Structure 1
């Protein structure tokens, strides 16, 4: 499989989603994760769609090598916001083996993420089996209370 890169429109869309959230307007299920940049130390914010699975909150990187995932991995702590409400979270990356059931759940619980993965060429049908096969390629994180 060839290397997957983010679509050109993603940065613009992310900026729009962050602006809407800062206005205090929750935008669907999306939230904004803010962590310090791994090189600059400056706050870096990224919209994402966390989802509940077995009583915990998880998120999946939209493509391999996503900068926000590297920043989250390095930081280990961040702020998760929805509208004007925010909370500190501990960011725990799952091993490929532990990420498999979460990736399966993602395929069923996050239709916007499935659509993104289809458009980017990561999956074709968006089935739980296809997402499970991405374990080790896509970063999967659990958000714990900080």
Structure 2
């Protein structure tokens, strides 16, 4: 008599990397950058991202640093798989605001194997602001180190619709 194997349960996916902002970042820095951006004052090209919530359908806003690189524009999540990245995957696009002017866009997530060059360019430009979120990866890190970091940092290629 052969034993019937127990039904297998699908493996639990590994927890996605998230570095939640602290009180000061949420209540002071992000609000200050968003306030400045709404008035047309940008810190090194920062913008306010508006994307529809995946559950509520309401517009959610957060400061981001769009990266022009290699003829395309990218949004990189230094803090990992945060709410705006989850919303972006569902919405497939949003708007970037500088002052009162918003530009609509569509977004496609960049595969992990294509991220190292983009992450390197992102750190070259914004290491002073986001370097701490990359856990030891620096602009001069090896391709292998960037490839190892790629799953922790979603990247979206955006295409403006207007």
Q: Normalization by structure 2: what TM-score?
A: 0.76
- 1:117 aligns with one of 123, 131, 137: 131
Tell me if the contact between 1:23 and 1:84 (Cα under 8 Å) persists in the aligned partners: yes
Gapped regions of structure 2 (runs ≥ 5): 1-16
After the TM superposition, list the runs of 4 or more consecutive aligned residues in structure 1 that deviate by more than 4 angstroms. Answer: none
SS in 1 for 2:149: coil
- Report the counterpart of residue 52 of structure 1 in structure 2: 68
- Report the counterpart of residue 97 of structure 1 in structure 2: 113
2:94 & 2:110 partners in 1: Cα distance? 17
Taking structure 1 as reference, are residues 107 and 88 closer, same or farther at Cα in structure 2, changes over 3 Å only? same
- Report the counterpart of residue 37 of structure 1 in structure 2: 53
Q: CA deviation at 1:92?
A: 1.2
1:98 & 1:10 partners in 2: Cα distance? 30
1:53 & 1:28 partners in 2: Cα distance? 15
Tell me if the contact between 2:37 and 2:46 (Cα under 8 Å) persists in the aligned partners: no
Q: CA deviation at 1:4?
A: 4.8
Once the two structures are superposed, residues 34-69 of structure 1 have per-residue CA deviations (whole angstroms, 9 ceiling, x without a partner) of: 011111111101111111111101121022221111
Tell me if the contact between 2:113 and 2:147 (Cα under 8 Å) persists in the aligned partners: no
Q: Which has the larger radius of gyration?
A: 2
Paired residues in the alignment total 140
- 1:11 aligns with one of 26, 30, 44: 26
2:114 & 2:96 partners in 1: Cα distance? 22
Q: CA deviation at 1:125?
A: 5.4
Tell me, yes or no, if structure 1 residue 137 matches structure 2 residue 149.
no
Tell me if the contact between 1:6 and 1:63 (Cα under 8 Å) persists in the aligned partners: yes
Taking structure 1 as reference, are residues 36 and 125 closer, same or farther at Cα in structure 2, changes over 3 Å only? closer
2:39 & 2:125 partners in 1: Cα distance? 27
